[in-house]
Structure 1
Amino acid sequence: MYALYARQSVDNKESISIESQLDLCRQKALGHDCREYKDKGFSGKNTERPSFQEMMKDIRKGEIEAVVVYKLDRISRSVLDFSMILEELQKHNVDFISAMEAFDTTQPMGRAMIQISAVFAQFERETIQQRVTDAYYSRCKRQFYMGGRIPYGYKLEDYTIDGVKTSHYVENPDESEHVKLIYSLYADPQNSLGDIVRYLNEHGIKKRRGREWDTSRLSDILRNPVYVKADVDVYAFFSRSGTHINNSPQDFIGENGCYLYKGTKTSDNKRSHLEGKELVLAPHTGLVSSEIWLKCRIRCKNNRQSAQTCKGKNSWLTGKVKCGNCGYALTIAKSNTKMGRYFICSQKSATKGAGCHGTGGTIYATILEEYILCRIRERLHEFSSLKSGNAQKTNPKLNELKVQLANCEERIADLVKKIPKASDRTMKYINECLEQLDQEKCQLNEEILKLSDTPISDEFNVITKHAEQWETISFNDKQKVIDTLIDVIKIANGQITIDWKF
């Protein structure tokens, strides 16, 4: 049985009538029994048509061996829909024939056209996906609420941005105090996630719907920037972490929370990984000060790094040292020479030199450890000297200096991005600008330290004591000192760069 299908959306003189379409289909199906299906007054933008759906039911029952149409667009004007229909026809061994075109799956040319159609269908799928993604991130950058689970401590309220109705978070008093308590407890190094879970559950503080807390849920809250009153320090933290920030440093005034999105250049959806993610200032007010939030967030980050590096006992620098050329971690290797241990780029090792040429020389572990320890002692002495002076209690210039520092680092990053495409003449100017910006950055760092009113904490005193008695402290304590003081150590072409956390 052949199915003859005809569709006409509008009845006018310029469109071919359903009867004319069926006449042409009958000529193509000459010698076969036919069953006719007619949809009058229906558009080809989708497949929600009564006679078409009836025909598809008959196909699934096995009653149809071929479908004949006047033209391809009678079935659908969507390449995507048409491809899906063809897939179903092939699944039930049903041929497809177009009376006026070269679509006849009983012939080689028709089968070739089917393949071409599939290519266009794939192109349309990818185009639709890209349009959806672009629209999503366009709305993200404009601070629109993008759905999802409402964070604990907030509730949803109607809101308008640029004349467009959306929603935003407002504080939920019944939950926000619990969030502040969680952060204050975790800011104390003596309290672990397990300790906080036990405290909350024992005191009858429950999650939504009366459920008990667990460390995974606490970890999500402590990592989420939706709670922070974002200032320039928060901007600097995410900038150092490789996060793409959609707002300028001047916008980080210590009031708004932040949205953190997956980003278009990363497949990593874990909240603990920040490189390649998108950060946008949100229209709601944060709950936690930047100082406490950063203290907790850095502690979460250090816990993860310690977990990753606890297996390697070959050097207390493991996990902190990276290749300055490719960004991959440097790992410990051993030799039979007098120096014994040395660092090697993990990408160069994995690709046998094809992916990265390495750091430009042999990095012996013992020598690097001695150098880093020396720099740590110098840094602690410098910091202690600056702090022991007459610090001002409050200084409105401090935040201004931090904004200038963030702008300076942003300009340096922009110049570095231009290096691969720069000519020799352009490189001369880039180097001059980088040198000036580096001097400006050093000067700003020094002024910020002088104006900072943060007292020397007990933790700082412990670290200073550890640095003075380095040979007697444990391997784990050495790792904790490094995690507290240093973000990353980059080595490339004989140059060692230390990114300090203070």
Structure 2
Amino acid sequence: MIAIYARQSVDRADSISIEQQIELCRYETRGEGYRNYVDRGYSGKNINRPQFMQMMEDIRSGIIHQVIVYKLDRISRSILDFSNMMEEFGKYNVKFISATEKFDTSSPMGNAMLNICIVFAQLERETIQKRVADAYYSRSRKSFYMGGPIPYGFRKVPALIDGVHTSMYEPVPEEAKAVELIYGLYAQPETSYGDVISRLNELGITKRGSSWARGRIREILLNPIYVRADVAVYDFLAENGADIENSPADFIGENGCYSYKSRENNKTPGTVYGERIVLAPHRGIVNSETWLRCREKCMSRKQVIPSQKAKNSWLCGKVKCGECGYALIAKEYRNGRDRYLMCSQKLASKSCGGAGTLCTDEVEHLVYSEMRNRLAKFRKLSCSDRTTHDAEQTALEIQLAETEREIRGLLEKVEGSDNALLRYINERVNALDSRRNDLTERINELSRKCGGNAEETDSHLKVWEELSFEDKRRVADILIRVIYVTSERLIIQWRI
């Protein structure tokens, strides 16, 4: 069967439509049966397109022996992607034809011309990208609205700047008062992010219906969009390495500032070095003195980021706050001599009162004792058919390893992801984590029936202090699903 592939990233009056592309390709089929593969709203810069991927699957299945496109750039604008695609076509003896450019990969000359044209297709794409970037840079210098999430404290309203219809920010009175309160509180020498959150919670002030977190407070305090920028702000930004588009005379103590990454993309997080500052058309919320005091205070302290790796306790990942259900984070103080478990929800937003004072050593010892007591029930278990159970357990362990590998791969993509991708990663990781728990429970069930894991785990518990950190975590994972703990109670949900 023949595949007709059509793609259109943007529907414009001067562009050829999907229907027109298919109609022109039909002539090349010479009456042979064909199947349409259509990707609407997708760029040709990569191959992440659903119908393209489906076509490639059909090629690998032997359904498709020829691919026809209206024009070369409809299927790819990347030299690397095109090269890989043509290698795949050759592997499955698939012929490729461009209806308008008359390329036929069955001849050496057709192959040569095809490769030359894909170079120019990529050049065109990169030229368009450069033109878009230049236009963005030029528009941002003129204080035009450039999109993105609307900062807390503002709403977007229509505006006319230099004869161009655009948008600008306008303070929302009730949110602007909350922003002033945040700056006023944090400007006090001894006030922390947590103190600010506690005060906001006492007053019943939320962030558009959501709880406050330290990261959100910090974002507000670092953002120059809130300041009524005067010469003192200009001097501070210039002295600390910011690239300022406007002259000092424009800083009259009224306008807020837009902040962008410099064209060299050398912005340093938490500082103004590498920021490109443009005066905005809206009026700022916070006076320059308060903003400068808060900004300098933020720059002098590191952002609090809870550790994402279990390294301070073998309980990490299992132990939850008995009050709110959020994870307890193991913290070390005094060079590791004092260890405590702290509620991550309390640490982040103060919306939980916390689980009380929890010494990590004491909780670990208590959980260890409970594991010994629990395991005593399974020492006499045996297996009637070891071979069958071993084969099934091996298959489950392979699935578990693949699931954990996919989770690790997704977590590596978290940094630098936008909100939409983060939501997808979070949903996928949650689904995979549920699958991992199910697989682990099934493996443990088989192990209990055969007695092997119970015997091995029991022997591990007898030499507990000699085990490595990872071995302790593995034993805990075999026995325990989750632990809920406060200073008054401890509840363990067992796997066995």
- Shorter-chain TM-score range: 0.3 to 0.5
Tell me the TM-score normalised to structure 2 length. 0.47
TM-score by length of 1: 0.46
